[in-house]
Amino acid sequence: MEFLIVLLIVIFVALYRKSNGESLYNFVTTSIGNIYDKYAPYSFKNIRERCKEMGLEYTKKQYTIQVITFASVAFIISYLYFYNIIIAVIYVAVVVSIIPYLAYLRNKRLYSEFIFEQVQVYVTNTIMEFQTTQSFVKALEGVYDSGVLEEPLKTDVKVMIDLAYHNGDVGESIEYMNSKYDFYMTRNMHQLFLQVTREGAHDTVQVLDNMLLDVDQLVEGVYQDRMNRQAFHKSFVTYGVTLYLMVMAVQWLIGKETYISLVNSNIIMNIGLHIVILFNSYFLLSGEKYYNENVGAE
Lowest pLDDT segment from 59-63, 85-89, 259-263, 282-286 = 59-63
Confidence at residue 15, expressed as pLDDT on a 0 to 100 scale = 47
**Closest residue by Cα to residue 145 from 133, 158, 132, 134:** 158
Phi, psi of 30 (to 5 degrees): -65, -40
Query: Residues of 89-102 as b/e, b for ≥16 C-beta within 10 angstroms?
Result: bebbeebbeebbee
Q: Does position 188 have pLDDT exceeding 60, yes or no?
A: yes
Per-residue model confidence as pLDDT tens digits over 90-138: 999 999 989 888 888 888 888 888 898 999 999 999 999 988 888 889 9
Consecutive H or E run containing 14: helix 2-19
Per-residue model confidence as pLDDT tens digits over 76-101: 999 999 999 999 999 999 999 898 88
Q: Is 76 left (phi over 0), alpha (psi -120 to 50) or beta?
A: alpha
Burial (CB count within 10 angstroms: exposed 0-12, middle 13-18, buried 19+), residue 123: buried
Look over the chain and give the mean of its residue pLDDT values, rounded to a whole number: 82
Model confidence at 47, in pLDDT bands (50, 70, 90)?
confident
* DSSP at 59: P
Burial (CB count within 10 angstroms: exposed 0-12, middle 13-18, buried 19+), residue 199: exposed
Confidence at residue 149, expressed as pLDDT on a 0 to 100 scale = 92
Confidence at residue 247, expressed as pLDDT on a 0 to 100 scale = 86
- The upper half-sphere exposure of residue 144, i.e. CA atoms within 13 Å in the direction of its Cβ, equals 16
CB 191 within 8 Å of CB 207: no
Per-residue model confidence as pLDDT tens digits over 219-269: 888 888 888 888 888 998 899 888 898 888 888 888 989 999 988 888 998
Confidence at residue 3, expressed as pLDDT on a 0 to 100 scale = 45
> What pTM does this model have?
0.75
Confidence at residue 230, expressed as pLDDT on a 0 to 100 scale = 87
Confidence at residue 198, expressed as pLDDT on a 0 to 100 scale = 72
